[in-house]
Amino acid sequence: MCGIVGAVAQRDVADILVEGLKRLEYRGYDSAGVAIVGHDDSLNRVRRLGKVQELADALKSEPLAGGTGIAHTRWATHGAPSESNAHPHTSNETIAVVHNGIIENHNELREKLQQFDYQFTSETDTEVITHLVHHELKTASSLMEAVQKTVKQLEGAYGTVVMDTRDKERVVVARSGSPLVIGYGLGENFIASDLMALLPVTRKFSYLEEGDVAEITRFDVTIVDKDGNSVEREAKESEVSHDAGDKGEYRHYMLKETYEQPTAIRNTLEGRLSGSQLNVDTFGAGADEIFKEIEHVQIIACGTSYHSGMVARYWLEAHAGVSCNIEIASEFRYRKSHVPKNALLVTISQSGETADTLAALRLAKDLGYKASLTICNVAGSSLVRESDLAFMTKAGAEIGVASTKAFTTQLVGLLMMTLALGKHNGMSEAKQAEIAHSILTLPNKLEEVLALAAPIEALAEDFADKHHALFLGRGDQYPIAMEGALKLKEISYIHAEAYAAGELKHGPLALIDAEMPVIVVAPQNDLIEKLKSNVEEVRARGGLMYVFADSKANFASDETMKVIDVPLCDDIIAPIVYTLPLQLLSYYVAIIKGTDVDQPRNLAKSVTVE
Ligand code: G6P
């Protein structure tokens, strides 16, 4: 979604801002812009529809000099993608603003500002902030005070940065519902919506809390909380590596991140699971005391993270002796739900900033859950800060919009959670050791699976002219079928649906013909004979099948079925193992179709608005 970068420095900052925007491209956007206060105190702005590179090219012919500047990538919500709707927005050639989020009362504010003769030049909700700050500055004693007065009038979500040409020593920033991170340099300071943007210039960061307003100058950062009290927000060194945003030898981030999965899982296991010893403190201080009392788990997530939660439900109820419910965050947050006794709320999120998941966590705090735990990949993110417990997946930065290594490391975290809860609910030591051993085989097993890339690439040709696909699975492979379908639709724009194979007769069978490829995830397990009956139902209707199965499942390729031989693995880790071939399939289909693999149309990596 939208990205923000800002700087207050002595040196010219245009290149830093544009590089920052490039590092945020993965989040998804449709236009980009930059505004800088010139050495003569003029407000200079360049905006372009399309890629950040278009903006960079424009700046080559029209360079902007100056040390105080703000920049933005926009993902349209109010007003179509266009140059005039792109940020920064300005008021009276003095105030410039970038904004992430949605101002819900923008119509009302717009009418009020029009009465004061403010002229609007865009269709955005953001422009009201610009004119409001200008208006408030007529009576306020400082930019900080004007921004504080402005945000009090805003309803909705914002992460915003405000700059005034008459006071170019500072920018003022405010956060409510949309993350902002301050980057500390030497004699220069920065602001961004995601620390990835600032890694080339600093490694020291502090996150603003909800309701904070901060003034950033070259040498100082002053923060006040929502009640106007001065506060400190602890600055920490980031562990994210500077080159996390490089594709290296790979053609796309998605492919790089698919191949990084064995390492990401090794990193996620390190120091946490050895032999059958699980370090429960890895979920946070006091986790074991909380887990001891848990009788029910409510999982909340969106997108791919929702699918990992679906797998966890099978694991928790089968092995950990606790009941489990899983729900999409945008549904959970708007319905009245019953909270069972001793229930743990678990959110799952790659980014830790997904608006609906965060809202669900905040709602749950009032509902009487015993505690909250997040399984998350971004340290310092809102979900991590606002949850009682946190399990950090160590996937490293994930840039491709289609989630790969974040998903499989979430599953590893959820398996460890199954162990941690299971030991308090009668899981035998032998079972604990068996599951722990299976988890530890994962990195090597996934390396074997990645060797399937060549045959899967060849298979992808069959999908090039298809418009629809059906994915089938049973038990804990049903969510993997759903994840496979999501991947295919996200990046190759082929309409794909997943069904629990037992549901075939209740509708999807009507769709089966030679034009509808059917992908089946079929490891040998207790349900394999049931699944084989479903496969026969498809075959009898002339369907063409692609079956991902191990040698024990005993499928053979023929004219109606192509079997992809997946290495044998223990049952419990099979959902993780079978994810990778489906990721590779969607990747190679997208390559053939020529779509934008890492930044699929209309999608964003981190969905910070509802
Ligand atoms: C977006 C992304 C998905 C992701 C989902 C949930 O839709 O494109 O890849 O699964 O958000 O994001 P989260 O950061 O909460 O896991």
Q: What is the CATH number of the domain that holds 112?
A: 3.60.20.10
- Whether 432 maps to a domain, the answer reads no
Which of residues 516 and 275 earns the better pLDDT score?
A: 516
DSSP symbol at 609: -
Region 370-397: what's the mean pLDDT? 94
Residues 286 and 332 in one domain: yes
Contact 346, 300 (CB under 8 A): yes
- Whether 506 maps to a domain, the answer reads yes
Answer whether residue 268 shows pLDDT above 80: yes
Instruction: Find out whether the beta carbon of 599 lies less than 6 Å from any atom of ligand 1.
Output: no
Answer whether residue 347 shows pLDDT above 70: yes
Contact 33, 82 (CB under 8 A): no
Which residue's alpha carbon is at the smallest distance from atom 13 of ligand 1?
A: 349
The pLDDT tens digits of the residues spanning 100-120 come to: 999 999 999 999 999 999 999
pLDDT at 415: 98
State how many domains the chain has. Answer: 3
Residues 494 and 397 in one domain: no
Answer whether residue 165 shows pLDDT above 70: yes
Residues 162 and 271 in one domain: no
Residues 358 and 311 in one domain: yes
Residues 463 and 488 in one domain: yes
pLDDT at 245: 67
**Annotated catalytic, 2?**
yes
Q: Which domain holds residue 460?
A: 449-600
Residues 397 and 469 in one domain: no
Which of residues 600 and 68 earns the better pLDDT score?
A: 68
Answer whether residue 609 shows pLDDT above 80: no
Which residue's alpha carbon is at the smallest distance from atom 7 of ligand 1?
A: 303
Q: Angle, nearest 10°, between helix axes 127-136 and 143-152?
A: 130
Q: Which of 362, 411, 364 is nearest to 391 (CA)?
A: 411
Answer whether residue 242 shows pLDDT above 80: no
Could you list the beta-strand ranges (E) of 317-397.
Answer: 323-328, 343-349, 371-376, 389-392
d(C-alpha 279, C-alpha 281), whole Å: 5
Instruction: Find out whether the beta carbon of 349 lies less than 6 Å from any atom of ligand 1.
Output: yes
d(C-alpha 105, C-alpha 128), whole Å: 10
pLDDT, the chain, mean:
94
Q: Which of 27, 45, 53 is nearest to 97 (CA)?
A: 45
Residues 461 and 502 in one domain: yes
Tokens of 376: 């998350």
Could you list the beta-strand ranges (E) of 382-430.
Answer: 389-392
- Whether 242 maps to a domain, the answer reads no
The pLDDT tens digits of the residues spanning 431-462 come to: 999 999 999 999 999 999 999 999 999 999 99
Tokens of 269: 């296991």
- Whether 198 maps to a domain, the answer reads yes
Q: Which of 440, 435, 428, 416 is nearest to 288 (CA)?
A: 416
- Residue showing tokens 């990645």: 450
Task: For residue 401, give the 3-state DSSP assignment.
Answer: coil
Last residue of a domain, one of 427, 461, 480: 427
d(C-alpha 35, C-alpha 17), whole Å: 10
What pTM value is reported for the model? Answer: 0.81
d(C-alpha 538, C-alpha 228), whole Å: 65
The radius of gyration computed from the CA coordinates of the chain, to the nearest angstrom, equals 25
- Residue showing tokens 């909700």: 125
Which residue's alpha carbon is at the smallest distance from atom 4 of ligand 1?
A: 303
Last residue of a domain, one of 208, 237, 266: 237
Instruction: Find out whether the beta carbon of 605 lies less than 6 Å from any atom of ligand 1.
Output: yes
DSSP symbol at 282: G
Which residue's alpha carbon is at the smallest distance from atom 8 of ligand 1?
A: 605
Q: Is the four-CA dihedral 589, 591, 595, 596 of positive or negative sign? A: positive
> Which residue type is seen at 161?
V
Q: What is the CATH number of the domain that holds 391?
A: 3.40.50.10490
| Residue 345, C-beta contacts closer than 8 angstroms, at least 6 positions apart | 298, 300, 361, 364, 369, 371, 372, 373
d(C-alpha 541, C-alpha 199), whole Å: 55
- Atom number in ligand 1 closest to CA 603: 8
Answer whether residue 90 shows pLDDT above 70: yes
Residues 12 and 47 in one domain: yes
d(C-alpha 526, C-alpha 391), whole Å: 31
Instruction: Find out whether the beta carbon of 491 lies less than 6 Å from any atom of ligand 1.
Output: no
Last residue of a domain, one of 237, 271, 290: 237
Residues 367 and 479 in one domain: no
Residues 262 and 400 in one domain: yes
- Whether 607 maps to a domain, the answer reads no
Tokens of 110: 């717009």
With bands split at pLDDT 50, 70 and 90, how would you rate the model's confidence at 605? confident
**Annotated catalytic, 376?**
no
- Whether 440 maps to a domain, the answer reads no
d(C-alpha 416, C-alpha 89), whole Å: 47
- Residue showing tokens 């794909």: 496
- Whether 437 maps to a domain, the answer reads no
pLDDT at 243: 66
Contact 66, 50 (CB under 8 A): no
> Which residue type is seen at 507?
G
- Whether 443 maps to a domain, the answer reads no
CA of 137 to the centre of ligand 1 (A): 39
Instruction: Find out whether the beta carbon of 357 lies less than 6 Å from any atom of ligand 1.
Output: yes
d(C-alpha 596, C-alpha 491), whole Å: 7
Residues 111 and 226 in one domain: yes
Residues 8 and 132 in one domain: yes
> Which residue type is seen at 354?
T
Instruction: Find out whether the beta carbon of 305 lies less than 6 Å from any atom of ligand 1.
Output: yes
CA of 162 to the centre of ligand 1 (A): 29
